[in-house]
Amino acid sequence: MTLILSRKDVISVLEMKDCMSVVENAFAELANGTAVLPLRNNIKPPGGLALYMPAYLEKMGALACKVVTVYKNNPSKYNLPTTIGKVLLQDPDTGDVICIMDGGYLTAVRTGAASGVATKYLAREEENLTCAIYGAGVQAKMQLWAVAEARKIAKAYVYDLSTESAQAFADEMNEKFDFDVVVGTPEELVQCDIICTATSAPNPIFDGNDVKEGAHINGIGSHTPNARELDTTIVKRSKFVGDSKEACFKEAGDIMIPLADGEITEDAFYAELGEIITAKKKGRLNNAEITLFKSNGLAIQDVATAKLVYDKAVAAGIGIEVEI
């Protein structure tokens, strides 16, 4: 039998704290060599793009593949979202597909979880820190949720090109958290202790010279070779940690652009997050150091989160079982 889990089912069982725990373990498996992470495969049918993201985590006993499609005409022609994602979870002992679940909310939470784990290992270990959120979309919400799990936040600032979106974000987040969330100015955000960038900006969104010593940055958006949220200055000033070195040098304009310009060498990349988690490399050395985590998104995050969702759904008796 195969368990079918809707978006509503996934939302009902998936919490950020739990997701951060399994995502942390997934990064550790990647660093320790017990994860299998093939390159993402893509197919371009007429009018769209299909992405296939498989992975296997030996210690976790998790085998799955996320299928994501991007069809720009979906909303106008078929009343469907532009981006659709599903995850197929398999039994690693038999190979049978044991669950098919919605991948939209799962992807959003696992992306936030990676930043939460990075914040746990790289941000200053202090209380009453300030947090900046650039962007006011779904991922911006996940970033704040994850950072709040990793550190005690005193106040958060949000900035978006749409003031209305930023205010709506602040209003919603004030209902969720016990600290103040306000619409801030760019000058306020760049001086925060923890900075999260969750935008689709093609060009840097702040001046790296303005970031204060001791800050930690989570760079989440603009993950194509020709786009970047972070300028060359902040890359040079920071201890640069990525989810995957290979992905950063193939997909992340934040490091690829200054490398192509001859402003940095590949030595600017300090470590993969899993290397910090497993203590193969040291994280933050002092309270003056600026740390930077670049997230591209890896299938191991999806697979770990899908296994978590499946286990919790089975325990809670939710979903629909079908015979295929």
Which residues are identified as catalytic? 66
Structure tokens at 42: 């893509």
Distance of alpha carbon 106 from alpha carbon 112, whole angstroms: 10
Task: For residue 131, give the nearest of 68, 59, 218 by alpha carbon.
Answer: 218
Helices (H), ranges, the chain: 7-13, 16-32, 104-122, 138-150, 163-176, 186-189, 232-237, 245-251, 253-260, 273-277, 299-316
Sequence-separated (6 or more) residues with CB below 8 Å from residue 2: 97, 98, 99, 100, 321, 322, 323, 324
Say which residue the tokens 């992975």 belong to: 55
Q: Is 103 within 8 Å of 68 (Cβ atoms)?
A: yes
Distance of alpha carbon 192 from alpha carbon 189, whole angstroms: 5
